[in-house]
């Protein structure tokens, strides 16, 4: 199976978020970056399918030069080659415009399977994979935990709410958005890191793909959320705050 | 182009709460843009749900009936709604942000050259649509521009379902053209993974642990606190995804919904999918080193600090208080 996995580089989870001077995005200067969480599971699923059925895993990422480090991480984990859509204007693109870039980059490869993460941890649109399916004219399923080959197609396990699941059968080629938690993630080995250095990373620009930065949705400004409750923050040393909380739980909440 | 379509979902023949919330959102949008609201129901025979929708303050109800819409499929719903939208030319299309909507609405919007503004928590003049970014750590204000309808989905719990007044709306039918070959996927019946042996739903006290715990080896720290309190141990999703605790201890939209007397969240950031599972708790305590963590937005008591210092101190204080 030829599998394309779309991977996004996002700010590291514990990174401090500071709103930039224009109030339209966060300060990116001293952020640490990482592979988006559900994309790591999408990559894992692709690598396991390749181990079982053979084929090729191609990772695809759109973003500025820095996303090269995330691409190399994926290559070190076992992806065969990569496509980097080099663009600095992701901020001016909505989910559809990003998906147009990715779709144009995927098309020449005509893969059997296109995998994306369910949702990006920064913008959190939860849309790109489903839009990609539409643009590529592929059937799709979302929120997928596991993929199994069955005859000429695949059977996938979809997560529903509150601990329920369902199976969906799809013909190939198809697109899937992968939810976290379906498989155990692998680490890159030293050998993998070494091998990654020789693997192909093809660089393309939005201009080469002929996709302009246009958007019907714009992010005007960002802010800190408003509180729903008035929280009593207990202050002091660990011992003092612990004692204060026990007092509250005992005498105000009456739970001890 | 004018009007607001609000697409409703039913469960077992009744319109769900989150769909009424979407109607509330559509009515609020209607008051800022002065346009009528039309409710849309889907299925093989929608007479009952159409009647239920028509008893609320919408301008009309549109029944979209077809044998191939009896069960949900992304292809079926996308084709049917595309035809309805092309026929009615609405300016806005509002959805509840359900698992079903997130499965097809982005494709539908793309087919009409648009991007969906998903998971909206409030609507202001302009109109400006607010949604969460960075896992709930920030909010973003979005606008739609250019030609074509504006697609919006609204987050569960963000609008008041009981704010939708009664009414007596006329019902119209819309019959889409669909054939079996257009539906490319086959969907199986829902099933559960295995027997649940932990019932967090009836627990009085819950201590829940999140990724702040860093390593599986550190879990006993939180387990000790739960034991001292006589509480059940819960967890956020990544803890269960990593296999550190079984999935039946997961609190949140894809795990269990809990409402104990006291819920103590240790090293949990407070993403919306976690909050929906525990925000009904009577008293919420959050222990987190990040003062801006969204969990503090719903907490009654907060301790901003390192859980590796606070939790052992708390366990000791609880033990002392119980002697
Ligand atoms: C469709 C869908 C369904 C989902 N369902 C669920 C669900 O049912 N339940 C669920 O929980 N999530 C669910 N999620 C995932 C959810 O979006 C979040 O990713 C998850 O809740 C984050 O878990 P966390 O708070 O433990 O981790 P993080 O977000 O990584 O937060 C860790 C927190 O620990 C704090 N911390 C770190 N070190 C320390 C320290 N030493 N002392 C104190 N604090 C510290 C950090 O400040 C941070 O706030 C779902 C997501 C999707 C898309
Ligand atoms: N710039 C990008 N480059 C590669 N993949 C992306 C990009 N943006 C989004 N994706 C993919 O689409 C998924 C969903 O993203 P989103 O729709 O932003 O929540 C991510 O998990 C990635 O797999």
- Which parts of B225-267 are beta strand (E)? 232-235, 262-266
Asked whether the beta carbons of residue B300 and residue A168 sit closer than 8 angstroms, the reply is no
How far is it, in rounded angstroms, from Cα B126 to Cα B28?
A: 12
Nearest chain B CA: its distance from A126 CA (Å): 7
Asked whether the beta carbons of residue B115 and residue A133 sit closer than 8 angstroms, the reply is no
Nearest chain A CA: its distance from B170 CA (Å): 33
A vs B, Cβ pairs < 8 A, gives: 250
Nearest chain B CA: its distance from A26 CA (Å): 10
Q: What are phi and psi of B207, to 5 degrees?
A: -110, 120
Report, as ranges of residue numbers, the positions in chain B whose pLDDT lies below 50: none
Residues 211-270 of chain B whose Cβ lies under 8 A from any Cβ of chain A: 211, 229, 237-238, 240-241, 243, 247-248, 253-257, 261-262
Range of the domain at A75: 2-205
Task: Establish if A137 belongs to a structural domain.
Answer: yes
Contact call for residues B62 and B70 (beta carbons, < 8 A): no
Per-residue pLDDT at B287: 98
| A31 CA distance to ligand 2 middle (Å) | 19
* CA neighbor of B307 nearest in space, from B290, B282, B283, B284: B290
Q: Which residues of A25-52 are buried (b: 16+ CB within 10 A; e: fewer)?
A: bbeeeebeebbbbbbbbbbbbbbbbbee
A217 vs B144, B286, B310: nearest CB = B144
Per-residue pLDDT at A44: 98
Atom of ligand 1 nearest to the CA of B307: 42
Asked whether the beta carbons of residue B188 and residue A167 sit closer than 8 angstroms, the reply is yes
| A119 CA distance to ligand 2 middle (Å) | 7
Asked whether the beta carbons of residue B300 and residue A184 sit closer than 8 angstroms, the reply is no
Taking contacts as CB-CB distances below 8 angstroms, the residues of chain B near A114 are none
Taking contacts as CB-CB distances below 8 angstroms, the residues of chain B near A127 are 102, 106, 115-116, 118
Per-residue pLDDT at A152: 92
Domain spans of chain B? Answer: 4-182, 200-322
How far is it, in rounded angstroms, from Cα B74 to Cα B72?
A: 7
Asked whether the beta carbons of residue B115 and residue A170 sit closer than 8 angstroms, the reply is no
Q: Which CATH number fits domain B200-322: 3.90.1150.10, 3.40.50.300, 3.40.50.1220, 3.40.50.720?
A: 3.40.50.1220
Q: Which CATH architecture has domain B4-182?
A: 3-Layer(aba) Sandwich (3.40)
- Which parts of A118-163 are beta strand (E)? 140-150, 153-159
Considering only CA atoms, which residue is closest to atom 29 of ligand 1? B269
Asked whether the beta carbons of residue B254 and residue A216 sit closer than 8 angstroms, the reply is no
Taking contacts as CB-CB distances below 8 angstroms, the residues of chain B near A13 are 211
Task: Establish if A236 belongs to a structural domain.
Answer: no
Q: What are phi and psi of B193, to 5 degrees?
A: -70, -50
Task: Establish if A229 belongs to a structural domain.
Answer: no
Considering only CA atoms, which residue is closest to atom 12 of ligand 2? A128
Ligand nearest to the Cα of B213, by number: 1
Which of B98, B264, B271, B294 for a ligand 1 pocket mutation test, highest count of atoms within 8 Å of Cβ? B271
How far is it, in rounded angstroms, from Cα B128 to Cα B140?
A: 10
| B21 CA distance to ligand 2 middle (Å) | 28
With a Cβ cut-off of 6 Å, ligand 1 is lined by: A 13-14, 118-119; B 135, 210-212, 236-238, 250-255, 267-269, 271, 273-274, 277, 288-290, 293, 306-308
Task: Establish if A216 belongs to a structural domain.
Answer: no
Task: Establish if A53 belongs to a structural domain.
Answer: yes
Per-residue pLDDT at A214: 81
Per-residue pLDDT at B323: 83
3-class SS at A94? Answer: coil
Q: Same topology for domains B4-182 and B200-322, yes or no? A: yes
Q: HSE-up of A190 (CA within 13 Å, CB side)?
A: 0
* Optimal mutation site among A158, A241, A250, A253, interface B, most CBs of chain B within 10 A: A241
Q: Which two tokens stand for residue B303?
A: 């301790």
Q: Name the domain count of chain A.
A: 1
* Optimal mutation site among B185, B234, B253, B320, interface A, most CBs of chain A within 10 A: B185
Task: Establish if A183 belongs to a structural domain.
Answer: yes
How far is it, in rounded angstroms, from Cα A241 to Cα A233?
A: 9
Q: Is the CB of A93 under 6 A from ligand 2?
A: no
Ligand nearest to the Cα of A101, by number: 2
pTM above 0.90, yes or no: yes
Task: Establish if A225 belongs to a structural domain.
Answer: no
- Which parts of chain B are beta strand (E)? 4-7, 10-11, 14-15, 37-43, 60-65, 92-96, 117-124, 128-133, 138-144, 150-154, 171-174, 186-187, 191-192, 205-209, 232-235, 262-266, 283-288, 301-304
Which of A116, A126, A179 for a ligand 2 pocket mutation test, highest count of atoms within 8 Å of Cβ? A116
Task: Establish if A87 belongs to a structural domain.
Answer: yes
Residues 93-132 of chain B whose Cβ lies under 8 A from any Cβ of chain A: 99, 102-104, 106-107, 109-111, 113-119, 128, 131-132
Nearest chain A CA: its distance from B250 CA (Å): 9
Q: Please tell me whether the interface predicted TM-score (ipTM) of this complex is above 0.85.
A: yes
Q: Residue A120 maps to which CATH number?
A: 3.40.50.620
Which of A6, A79, A179 for a ligand 2 pocket mutation test, highest count of atoms within 8 Å of Cβ? A6
B254 vs A17, A162, A171: nearest CB = A162
| A185 CA distance to ligand 1 middle (Å) | 18
* DSSP sequence for B14-60: EE-HHHHHHHHHHHHHHHHHT--EEEEEEES--HHHHHHHHTBS-SE
> Per-residue confidence of chain A (256 residues) as pLDDT tens digits?
999 999 999 999 888 889 999 999 999 988 999 999 999 999 999 999 999 999 999 999 999 999 999 999 999 999 999 999 999 988 889 999 999 999 999 999 999 999 999 999 999 999 999 999 999 999 999 999 999 999 999 999 999 988 899 999 999 999 999 999 999 999 999 999 999 999 999 999 999 999 887 889 999 999 999 877 789 999 999 999 999 999 999 999 999 8
């Amino acid at each position: 199976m030829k599998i394309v996995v779309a991977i996004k580089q996002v700010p590291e989870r514990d990174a401090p978020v500071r709103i930039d001077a224009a109030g339209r995005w966060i300060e990116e200067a001293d952020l640490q970056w990482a592979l988006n969480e559900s994309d790591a599971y999408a990559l894992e699923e692709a690598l396991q399918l390749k181990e079982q059925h053979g084929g090729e895993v191609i990772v695809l990422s759109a973003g500025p030069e820095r996303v090269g480090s995330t691409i190399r991480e994926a290559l070190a984990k076992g992806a065969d080659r990569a496509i980097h859509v080099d663009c600095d204007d992701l901020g001016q693109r909505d989910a559809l415009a990003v998906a147009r870039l990715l779709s144009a980059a995927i098309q020449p490869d005509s893969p059997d399977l296109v995998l994306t993460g369910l949702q990006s941890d920064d913008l959190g649109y939860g849309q790109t994979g489903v839009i990609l399916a539409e643009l590529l004219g592929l059937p799709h399923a979302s929120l997928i935990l596991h993929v199994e080959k069955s005859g000429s197609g695949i059977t996938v396990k979809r997560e529903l709410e509150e601990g329920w699941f369902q199976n969906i059968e799809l013909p190939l080629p198809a697109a899937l958005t992968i939810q976290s938690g379906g498989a155990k993630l692998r680490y890159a080995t030293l050998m993998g890191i070494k091998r990654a250095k020789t693997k192909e990373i093809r660089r393309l620009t939005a201009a080469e793909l002929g996709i302009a930065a246009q958007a019907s949705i714009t992010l005007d400004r960002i802010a800190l959320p408003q509180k729903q409750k008035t929280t009593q923050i207990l202050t002091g040393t660990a011992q003092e705050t612990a004692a204060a909380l026990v007092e509250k739980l005992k005498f105000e909440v009456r739970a001890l | 182009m004018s009007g607001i379509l609000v697409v409703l979902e039913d469960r077992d023949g009744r319109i769900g709460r989150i769909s009424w919330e979407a109607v509330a959102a559509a009515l609020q949008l209607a008051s800022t843009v002065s346009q009528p609201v039309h409710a849309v129901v889907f299925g093989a025979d929608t007479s009952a749900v159409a009647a239920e929708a028509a008893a609320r303050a919408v301008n009309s109800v549109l029944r979209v009936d077809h044998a191939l819409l009896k069960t949900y499929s992304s292809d079926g719903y996308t084709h049917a709604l595309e035809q309805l939208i092309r026929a009615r030319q609405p300016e806005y299309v509002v959805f509840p942000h359900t698992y079903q909507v997130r499965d097809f609405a982005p494709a539908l919007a793309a087919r009409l050259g648009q991007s969906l503004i998903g998971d909206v928590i409030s609507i202001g003049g302009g109109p400006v649509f607010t949604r969460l970014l960075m896992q709930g750590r920030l909010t973003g204000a979005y606008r739609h521009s250019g030609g074509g309808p504006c697609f919006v989905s609204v987050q569960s719990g963000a609008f008041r379902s009981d704010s939708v007044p009664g009414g007596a709306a006329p019902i119209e039918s819309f019959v889409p053209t669909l054939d079996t070959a257009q539906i490319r996927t086959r969907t199986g019946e829902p099933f559960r993974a295995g027997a649940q042996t932990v019932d967090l739903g009836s627990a009085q006290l819950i201590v829940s642990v999140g990724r702040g715990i860093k390593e599986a080896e550190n879990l006993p720290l939180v387990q000790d606190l739960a034991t001292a309190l006589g509480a059940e141990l819960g967890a956020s999703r990544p803890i269960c995804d990593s296999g550190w605790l079984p999935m039946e201890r997961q609190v949140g939209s894809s795990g269990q919904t809990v409402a104990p007397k006291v819920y103590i969240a240790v090293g949990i950031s407070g993403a919306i999918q976690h909050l929906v599972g525990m925000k009904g708790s009577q008293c919420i305590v959050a222990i987190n080193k990040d003062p801006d963590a969204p969990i503090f937005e719903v907490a009654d008591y907060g301790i901003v600090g390192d859980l590796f210092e606070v939790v052992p101190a708390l366990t000791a204080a609880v033990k002392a208080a119980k002697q």
